Amino acid sequence: MSTHSNISLPLTPGEFYHIYNRGNEKRLIFFERGHYFRFLQKLTEYMKGYVDFYAYALLPNHFHLCIEIKSSVEIIDEAKKTKFIYIDSLFKRRYVMSWLMKEGEQQNTMTAKSEGENVPGFQHATRLTVPPIWNEQVLLKHLPKIMDYSLYDMVELLNELPKHDNNIYGKHASCLEELSPEQQLVSYLVSERFRRFLLSHARYINETRGRTGSLFQKAFRRKHLSDPCDVKDVITYINHNPIHHGFGKDYNSYDWTSYKPSIYNYTSLLNKTKLLNLFSGSPGFIEGHKKYQQHRWEKERFYIEEV
C-alpha cells in the first residue's frame, strides 16, 4: 500500500480506502460536542448505500474513515433512489463525450484491420475516417443532447456501448481514464457524494460559528488499501488515533471513534458484520487493537501529518 495521499485517486467499486482530511491551516473542524454528532449523522445520510464503513475517528481538527465502495449496481440504484441524478457538466465534457468518441476510434481500428490487414502499409493507416453505421447512430442519438443528460440517460447510454473490462490495466487505476465508462460514472457519484457531504459540514460550521472561508485544507484525501492486512492495520490505526494525539489513554476513553460501536451494542454507521469478520469476531478485534497499542511504533508507516 502506498503511503502517499491522493486527492484524485478513483474510488472504485469493491475496493477499500482510507479517507481523511484536516482543517484549513490545521484549524478546528469541530468546535463542540454537537458538531461530532451531526457529522456522523450527515455522513450516514449522504453515504449510506454508497459505501460500507469499517472505522472512523473524529479529532478536533481532522478525521479518518476506512470504507469499502459498494458495487456499481448498488451505487447506481442508491443514486436513483435518493434522486442524486444530476451529472456535472465538467464530467460530461471530460469523460462522457470521450466514451462515444473512443468507441468510434476502437471500431474504426477493428474495421480497418478486418478489411485491410493484407494491404501493404496497413500498419500506417489503421483508422477509418467514417465510423461504422451502428456507431454513427449512437453518436447522432446522444451527442447533441448529452450535456442535458441525467443519471438515467447515462445508464441508457452505457447499455448501448460495448462492455469493457473494469480496469484495462489489471491493477488499481491511478486516474478515471483507466476505468471502464461504467466505473468512471460510479466513481464520480461516490466522490461527488463525499464532496457534497463535506461542503454541507463546512457550510454548517461557518453559519453557526459566524466564520467565512474554507473549513478544510483541500479536497478529501484517500489511499487505496489493496490487502486485507492493510485494511485491518488502518482500522486499528484509526481507532488508535486519539491515543496517538493524547486525547485518551485507552480505546474506551474517547467517544468519537468506531472502537466502542464495533464491540458494544451501539447503533452506528458501521457494517459490523463485515468488520468483525475481518478480525474473526469481537475477541480478535479486541486482541488486534491491544497488540496494535503495544507495538504501535511498528505501524508508524500508516501515520500521516494530520496536526
pLDDT in tens, 32-82: 999 999 999 999 999 999 999 999 999 999 999 999 999 999 999 999 999
pLDDT the model gives residue 135: 64
The pLDDT of 190-217, averaged and rounded, is 95
Q: Number of folded domains in the chain? A: 2
pLDDT the model gives residue 3: 43
Look-up of cell digits 481514464:
177
Task: Establish if 265 belongs to a structural domain.
Answer: yes
Burial label for 98, CB within 10 Å (0-12, 13-18, 19+), is middle
Question: Based on the domain organization, do 200 and 298 belong to the same domain?
Answer: yes
Look at residues 169, 186, 203 and tell me which one is the last residue of a structural domain: 186
Question: Based on the domain organization, do 196 and 292 belong to the same domain?
Answer: yes
Question: Based on the domain organization, do 103 and 47 belong to the same domain?
Answer: no
Q: How many residues are recorded in the chain?
A: 307
On average, the pLDDT of the chain sits at 84
DSSP letter, residue 162: P
Question: Based on the domain organization, do 202 and 285 belong to the same domain?
Answer: yes
Output the CA torsion 199→202→207→212 (10° steps). -100
Question: Based on the domain organization, do 104 and 134 belong to the same domain?
Answer: yes
Question: Based on the domain organization, do 196 and 264 belong to the same domain?
Answer: yes
- Please determine, for residue 232, whether its predicted confidence score (pLDDT) is greater than 80: yes
Task: Establish if 5 belongs to a structural domain.
Answer: no
- Please determine, for residue 111, whether its predicted confidence score (pLDDT) is greater than 50: no
DSSP letter, residue 24: G
Of residues 114 and 190, more confidence is placed in: 190
Question: Based on the domain organization, do 69 and 196 belong to the same domain?
Answer: yes
CATH number at residue 71: 3.30.70.1290
- Please determine, for residue 123, whether its predicted confidence score (pLDDT) is greater than 70: no
Task: Establish if 11 belongs to a structural domain.
Answer: no
- Please determine, for residue 97, whether its predicted confidence score (pLDDT) is greater than 90: no
Question: Based on the domain organization, do 136 and 158 belong to the same domain?
Answer: yes
Sequence-distant (≥ 6) Cβ neighbours of residue 21 within 8 angstroms: 62, 63, 198, 216, 217, 218, 220, 221
Q: How confident is the model at residue 100 (pLDDT cuts 50, 70, 90)?
A: confident
Question: Based on the domain organization, do 69 and 204 belong to the same domain?
Answer: yes
Question: Based on the domain organization, do 71 and 206 belong to the same domain?
Answer: yes
Question: Based on the domain organization, do 164 and 267 belong to the same domain?
Answer: no
Domain span including residue 66: 16-75+189-302
Question: Which has the minimum average pLDDT: 126-130, 183-187, 192-196, 262-266?
Answer: 126-130
99's grid cell: 466514451
- Please determine, for residue 109, whether its predicted confidence score (pLDDT) is greater than 60: no
Question: Based on the domain organization, do 179 and 268 belong to the same domain?
Answer: no
pTM of the model: 0.84
Residue by residue, what is the 3-state secondary structure of 53-81?
A: EEEEEEECCEEEEEEEECCHHHHHHHHHH
pLDDT the model gives residue 301: 54
Task: Establish if 29 belongs to a structural domain.
Answer: yes
